[in-house]
Amino acid sequence: MNTRYPKLFLMPGRERSLIKGHPWLFSGAVASCEGLPGPGDLVQAVSAAGEPLAVGFYHPRNSIAFRSLTRDPEARVDAGFFRHRIARARLLREKVVTGQTDACRVINAEGDGLPGLVADRYGQYLVVSFSTAGMERFRSKVLEGLKKEFQPTAIYERSEGRARNMEGLADQTGSAMGRMPPPLVEIRENGLSFDVDIISGQKTGFYLDQRVNRELVGALCRGARVLNCFSYSGGFSVYAGCGGAAQVTSVDVSSAATRLAAANWRKNDLPADAHRLVTADVFDYLRQVDEPYDLIILDPPAFARNARDVDSAAAGYKEINRQGIKKLKEGGLLFTFSCSNFIDETLFEKIVLAACRDAGKEARLLKALGPGPDHPVDLGHPEGRYLKGLLLSFGD
């Protein structure tokens, strides 16, 4: 069948990044466009020499002007196309999410060939987020596809945030299919239990991207005194407790978060006296506390929200790392993370290395950390690699 999408002509030479594998084109790469496609319209990207390259979503006013859906320039992008991508995403999760786990990311935007769509599974519930005008156009087909592939009890929508605003879309939250989820949904992760607030919790309710790193903490903390900074609902803390830590301290500035962390600790039958909950700013806490720890986790929110923030964010990361490193006992372990898009792996390593130097300690890298395989990233899309981390060992 003939499909004919308006042609998006690129400036000479500007097809290079797309050909190399990047899924986006910025507005400066666009020379002209056939007709007057609107936000979210499908277009065919064409090089200045007239070579058709890809089909994807166009936006006339966002700096990201084109998001590739397929490198087949003649592909037909319809309900069947989205259904196929969703089915592929489900099959991947069946392969990579094993053990007693019923919560994971099931659609990871570009990483699943679905720019502007994120879906997280929490037991019988799906939480979905649409962040591009293009994906919004296919909303009912996408919801239908998710329903058929995952057969959830209900789909709850949390389409909000900056990416959506940049596409000229207002926030939208509420039930997208079925009844409203309960205030707390119980999930299992590697056999551990957590209550997740999918309606008003952070992100879509839980930091699913840290599952593999939580497992690693659980495996490395027998008998340890553990400090979990930026603990949110206590994910790392519960794994540490169940992994045999002698004592766990969870620090978060939000009292709602520390309440959830306390509840999740209890839910896993861990002894209350082995968990200290501190509602405080981590910067202040680390400056004041004078106790040594065997294992410290630093998992702050994104300090850099845009390129202008990078310097101040770097100073923030350096400070918490320097303070954290000083609190580690000889032979201690540090799990340190950044989820800022604008701070790449190389810069993060430099910041942490500078923190080690300032703390007068030498670190050995045991493992570079990232999200689990339910968060696939398009290999050509560095912007998709937001979460990076280091597992470091200090001293003897």
Query: Could you list the residues that contact ligand SAH (CB under 6 A)?
Result: 202, 207, 210, 230-233, 235-236, 252-254, 257, 281-283, 299-301
Rounded distance, CA 297 to CA 44, Å?
Answer: 46
3-class secondary structure for 165-226? HHCCCCCEEEEEECCCCCCCEEEEECCEEEEECCCCCCCCCCCHHHHHHHHHHHHCCCCCEE
Task: Using the minimum distance from each CB to ligand SAH, give the nearer residue, 282 or 347.
Answer: 282
Catalytic residues: 339
With respect to ligand SAH, which residue has the nearer C-beta, 172 or 254? 254
In Å, what is the CA distance from 45 to each residue of 33, 73, 74, 175?
Answer: 9, 8, 11, 35
Q: Per the structure block, which two tokens stand in for 326?
A: 């000083």
**Closer residue to ligand SAH in complex, CB, 57/335:** 335
For the CB of residue 127, give the shortest distance to ligand SAH in the complex, in Å: 15
**How many other CB atoms are there within 10 angstroms of residue 307's CB atom?**
9
Q: How far is the CB of 269 from ligand SAH (least distance, A)?
A: 20
Closest CB to ligand SAH among residues 193, 202: 202
Min dist CB 190 to ligand SAH, Å, is 13
Task: Compute the distance between CA of residue 207 and CA of residue 204 in angstroms, rounded to an integer.
Answer: 8
The count of other CB atoms within 10 Å of the CB of residue 201 is 22
Q: Count Cβ atoms within 10 A of the Cβ of residue 188 and give its class: 0-12 exposed, 13-18 middle, 19 or more buried.
A: middle
Measured in residues, the chain has a length of: 396
| Cβ neighbours for 252, distance < 8 A, ≥ 6 positions apart | 230, 231, 232, 258, 261, 278, 279
Cα–Cα distances (Å) from 181 to 69, 91, 324, in that order, read: 32, 25, 39
Nearer to ligand SAH, 104 or 142 (CB): 104
CA-based nearest residue to 245, from 272, 265, 274 = 274
User: Rounded distance, CA 123 to CA 200, Å?
Assistant: 17
Give min distance, CB of 92 to ligand SAH, in A: 23
Residue 232 Cβ, how far from ligand SAH at the closest point, in Å? 3
**Cβ-Cβ contacts under 8 Å for 151 (sequence gap 6 or more):** none
Is 143 or 229 the residue whose CB approaches ligand SAH more closely?
A: 229
Q: How far is the CB of 155 from ligand SAH (least distance, A)?
A: 23
